[in-house]
Structure 1
Amino acid sequence: MGTPHARPPLAERVEELLARGGPLPIVEAGDPALRRVTEPYEGQLAPALLARFVEALRLTMHAAPGVGLAAPQVGVELRIAVIEDPAPVPEEVRAARGRVPQPFRVLVDPAYEPVGGERAAFFEGCLSVPGWQAVVARPAQVRLRAADEHGHAVDEVFSGWPARIVQHETDHLDGTLYLDRAEPRSLSSSRAMAELWTQPTPGAAAAALGFELPGPAA
């Protein structure tokens, strides 16, 4: 009887991935890589390889384009994600969603917890679920604990759209997709979004599609 085929060590697989050059391929919903809980980062990648991997995540995020990317989205089960948002949106959208620019950041072993009871609901999409968006109600403010790529501790409170990005990317590291938290009746194609739901808030979509939005914080 043959022995089960063992996967190559993670560092070897990352090297092979990076050897392709250019933006990395993004795996899509249905790929088991998106449903596995990732490994805490414990030096599995040498510093130089980690730096190359982080740069590849950044390149891939920009090329997509997106405002965040988690390692499992490129098939690597490490608890690492990157975020960056230039927030090129109209002022009314910025005000409604609390979307403000975020510099490029690396999140290593991130975890978040809600701050206060307020929840905000907006349409959300994902590079691993192309062509669709849905409304997700999330805590409006969260406290993030993580490390950066140099091992420096991060302990910061995020509000508005940056809080949503942090939650979305950290969820990826736990095998959770935004669809798991979404209002099913809100699911909309890219075409429907462009034609019907470009408003700063999803109030019109909620009324037309028949779902409820969270009320004011108690």
Structure 2
Amino acid sequence: MTADAPRTPVVAPLPREAIAAHVESVLAADLPPIVAAGHPVLRRPAQDYEGELDDGTLVRLIATMRRVMHAAPGVGLAAPQIGIPLRIAVLEDQGTADPVVAAARTRAPLPFTVLINPRYAAVEDKRDAFYEGCLSVPGYQAVVERHHRIEATYTQPDGRTVTTGFQGWPARIVQHETDHLDGMLYLDRAILRSLTANQEHHRWAQPTVDEARRGLGF
């Protein structure tokens, strides 16, 4: 017996005027709320950004997304997470002061980065397994295997398209946020037996997931 493959909802792209009006309605809030799992915008591939916003509105949107990300707090936020179906994400991670964790997770600081219409490809077969959480799935974390090294191609706010290499934890953040833009949540890739409520996560808050593997049997 085989399971049915997940269905990706097919939704017609919103017209330019409708997108612009929707963005303005979201930006009317000082700090737009983060939508949670179950909201359809998180399950639909976001449409490519093709200049639907004027320069000033795009700057305001990016600045607002950065504030929402910091307030959460988080290290990445995709536009669908505030209800906007555009392929735009912001990332920023200060890293960790713990050298053991930094080494185990290849967690170097990631400066503020804006990804517009990002795509990525693995550079090697190596994968890393670590716990992840998501601002749209509050209260839980689970182990996800991700590519250790990737190359991402994306457009910057100034209109330049670049290809940049990422590895370790920064690569994980890029993959997590790009998944959001493809209508995926981290739980779609997670080892579900590792699923842990935040109040229990202290048991497995180690540099690696080795102890969690033994304790939870995955």
Q: Same fold (TM over 0.5)?
A: yes
2:210 to 181, 185, 203: 203
With 132-141 and 148-157 compared, the bigger mean Cα shift is at 148-157
With 81-90 and 129-138 compared, the bigger mean Cα shift is at 81-90
1:54 to 40, 62, 85: 62
Q: Secondary structure at the match of 2:95?
A: coil
CA contact (8 A) 2:120 2:151 kept: yes
Find out whether 1:144 has 2:152 as its counterpart: yes
The TM-score with structure 2 as length reference comes to 0.91
2:27 to 18, 27, 34: 18
2:169 to 161, 165, 168: 161
Q: Secondary structure at the match of 1:185?
A: strand
Any runs of at least 4 consecutive aligned residues in structure 1 with deviations exceeding 4 A, and if so which?
Answer: none
Q: Secondary structure at the match of 1:9?
A: helix
C-alpha displacement of 1:11: 0.6
C-alpha displacement of 1:119: 0.6
Aligned to 1:71: 79
RMSD across aligned positions (CA): 1.3
Distance 1:87 1:93 in 2: 10
Find out whether 1:187 has 2:181 as its counterpart: no
The TM-score with structure 1 as length reference comes to 0.91
Which residue identity lines up with residue 135 of structure 2 in the other structure?
L
Q: Secondary structure at the match of 2:29?
A: coil
Which residue identity lines up with residue 127 of structure 1 in the other structure?
L
Distance 1:20 1:199 in 2: 38
Q: Secondary structure at the match of 1:187?
A: strand
Give unpaired runs (5+ residues) of structure 2: 1-13
Aligned to 1:129: 137
C-alpha displacement of 1:18: 0.9
Give unpaired runs (5+ residues) of structure 1: 1-5, 212-218
Q: Deviations over 1:160-215 (max 9, x none)?
A: 00000000000000000000000010000001112x0111000110111111xxxx
Q: Secondary structure at the match of 2:193?
A: helix
C-alpha displacement of 1:89: 3.8
Give the number of aligned pairs. 204
Aligned to 1:102: 110
Q: Secondary structure at the match of 1:27?
A: coil
Aligned to 1:113: 121
Q: Deviations over 1:14-63 (max 9, x none)?
A: 11111121x21000011101001111010111111011000000000000
Q: Deviations over 1:100-121 (max 9, x none)?
A: 1111111000000111110100
Which residue identity lines up with residue 176 of structure 1 in the other structure?
M
Which residue identity lines up with residue 24 of structure 1 in the other structure?
P
1:9 to 6, 13, 18: 18
Q: Secondary structure at the match of 2:158?
A: coil
Matches for 1:81-96 after TM superposition, within 5 Å: 81-96=89-104
Identity %: 52
Find out whether 1:176 has 2:184 as its counterpart: yes
Q: Deviations over 1:115-165 (max 9, x none)?
A: 111010000000000110000001111110001111111201100000000
Distance 1:169 1:97 in 2: 18
Aligned to 1:28: 36
Distance 2:131 2:112 in 1: 23
Distance 2:144 2:165 in 1: 20
